[in-house]
Structure 1
Amino acid sequence: MKALPSKYSWLYNEPAPRQLKEALFHYGILEHVGKGSDPNIMAWAKEVGVSGWYTDDDIPWCGLFVGVVMQRVGYAFKAAQLLSARQWINWGKARPKGQEKLWDILVFQRDGGGHVGFYVGENAHAFLVYGGNQSNAVGFAWIDKSRLLGARYPAYKIGEPANVRKILLSETGELSKNEA
Structure 2
Amino acid sequence: MHPSIVSALAAGAPPMLAAMLAQLGLHEVEGKGSNPVIMQMARRVAGSHPKLDWVGGFYEDDDIPWCGLAVADAAVRSGLTPVLPNPLSARAWADWGSPLVGPRRGAVVVLSRQGGGHVGLVAAVTSGAKRLLVAGGNQSNAITLAWFDNVPTVRGGRVLGFRAPPGGALPEAPVVADDGRSVSKSEA
> In structure 2, what is the equivalent of residue 41 of structure 1?
38
Residues of 2 paired with 1:171 and 1:64: CA distance? 28
CA distance in 2, matches of 1:63, 1:154: 14
**Which residue of structure 2 lines up, in the alignment, with residue 104 of structure 1?**
107
Query: Residues 119 and 78 from structure 1, CA distance in 2 versus in 1: closer, same or farther, beyond 3 angstroms?
Result: closer
| More deviation, 19-28/126-135 | 19-28
Query: 1:87 and 2:101 equivalent?
Result: no
Contact in 1 for aligned 2:28/2:63 (Cα 8 Å): yes
Residues 120-161 of structure 1 deviation map (CA, whole Å, 9 limit, x = unaligned): 1122532110011111111111012221000011123xx526
How far apart are 1:166 and its partner, in Å? 2.9
SS at match of 2:63: coil
Aligned residues: 171
Candidates 150, 160, 180, aligned match of 2:161? 150
Query: 2:121 and 2:91 mapped to 1: Cα distance?
Result: 14
Q: What 5-or-longer segments of structure 1 have no aligned partner?
A: none
TM-score, normalised to structure 2's length?
A: 0.84
* RMSD of aligned Cα (Å): 1.9
Q: In 2, distance between residues paired with 1:12 and 1:105?
A: 16
- Deviating beyond 4 angstroms after TM superposition, the runs of 4 or more aligned structure 1 residues are none
In structure 1, the partner of 2:132 is: 127
Return the match for 2:182 from 169, 174, 179.
Answer: 174
Moved more, 3-12 or 51-60: 3-12
Aligned to 2:66: 61
- Residue 10 of structure 1 corresponds to which residue in structure 2? 8
- Give the partner amino acid of 2:140: S
Q: SS at 1:177's partner residue?
A: coil
Q: Please state whether the residue corresponding to 2:31 is helix, strand or coil.
A: coil
Q: What CA deviation, in whole Å up to 9, does each residue of 1:80-112 have, x standing for no partner?
A: 41111011001111001xx21101000000011
Aligned-partner SS, 2:86 = helix
Distance 1:92 1:10, change over 3 A: same
Query: Residue 78 of structure 1: CA displacement?
Result: 4.5
Name the structure 2 match of 1:160. Answer: 169
Percent identical pairs in the alignment equals 42
